[in-house]
């Protein structure tokens, strides 16, 4: 009888441990911010002006170079006001897409948010100690970020996804500003 009680106790302990570990890991996977919440935080409204940018020619080539693969879509919606643009970008971490919200103002990143995280590892990138590194980053002359982003042990692929997404948002912002200034000057 004591052997049976010991086996039951060990089984119960192992089952409780597995449930706890699964709950902790699953608790980090999820949606942290909706599109409406991101836009409200960025613009003070959940319905700012928006437009679509098409990935064609030079822009498609630049996006492919930064991301390491062609864009998954032919176009991307973005939101804007007089001074800033906001981009929602999905990029694969290890196996699943991570959704980033990135706000660009005056050629610099104002904020980077992890809106939706679907990976089993690397969720630490959602915390301010990591995302604040992107504040005030801009593109250098070669078209890459002007500052190095510190990695997180065990989250390298998630960090890479955030870094590539930030770089892409800056390139897209630059492209939209050039297109806008060209349209204005041709009037």
pLDDT digits (tens, 9 = 90+) for 54-113: 999 999 999 999 999 999 999 999 999 999 999 999 999 999 999 999 999 999 999 999
Q: Which residue has the higher pLDDT, 154 or 8?
A: 154
In terms of Cβ atoms closer than 10 Å to its own Cβ (0-12, 13-18, 19+), residue 106 is exposed
pLDDT for 29 equals 81
Q: How far is CA 117 from CA 46, 81, 87, 134, in A?
A: 21, 27, 16, 18
Work out the average pLDDT over 139-154.
94
Per domain, the residue ranges of the chain are 1-31, 33-185
Provide the b/e sequence for 54-87 (b: ≥16 CB within 10 Å).
Answer: ebeeebeebbeebbeeebeeeebebbbeeebbbb
Structure tokens at 160: 């890479």
pLDDT for 187 equals 46
Q: What is the mean pLDDT of the chain?
A: 88
pLDDT for 11 equals 60
Task: Give percent of the chain with pLDDT exceeding 70.
Answer: 81
Q: How far is CA 156 from CA 21, 59, 112, in A?
A: 22, 27, 17
Place of tokens 């699964």: 22
Distance CA 49, CA 180 (A): 14
């Amino acid at each position: 009888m004591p052997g049976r009680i010991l086996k039951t106790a060990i089984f119960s302990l192992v089952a409780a441990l597995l449930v706890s570990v699964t709950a902790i890991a699953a608790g980090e996977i999820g949606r942290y911010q909706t599109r409406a919440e991101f836009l409200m935080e960025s613009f003070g409204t959940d319905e700012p002006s928006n437009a679509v940018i098409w990935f064609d020619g030079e822009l498609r080539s630049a996006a492919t170079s930064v991301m390491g693969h062609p864009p998954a879509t032919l176009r991307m919606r973005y939101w804007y006001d007089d001074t800033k643009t906001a981009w929602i970008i999905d990029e694969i971490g290890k196996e699943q897409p991570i959704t980033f919200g990135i706000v660009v103002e005056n050629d610099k990143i104002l904020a980077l948010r992890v809106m939706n995280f679907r990976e089993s590892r690397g969720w630490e990138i959602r915390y301010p100690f990591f995302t604040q590194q992107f504040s005030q980053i801009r593109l250098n002359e070669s078209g890459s970020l002007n500052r190095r982003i510190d990695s997180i042990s065990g989250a390298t692929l998630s960090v890479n996804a955030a870094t590539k997404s930030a770089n892409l948002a800056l390139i897209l912002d630059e492209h939209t500003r050039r297109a806008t200034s060209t349209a204005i000057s041709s009037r």
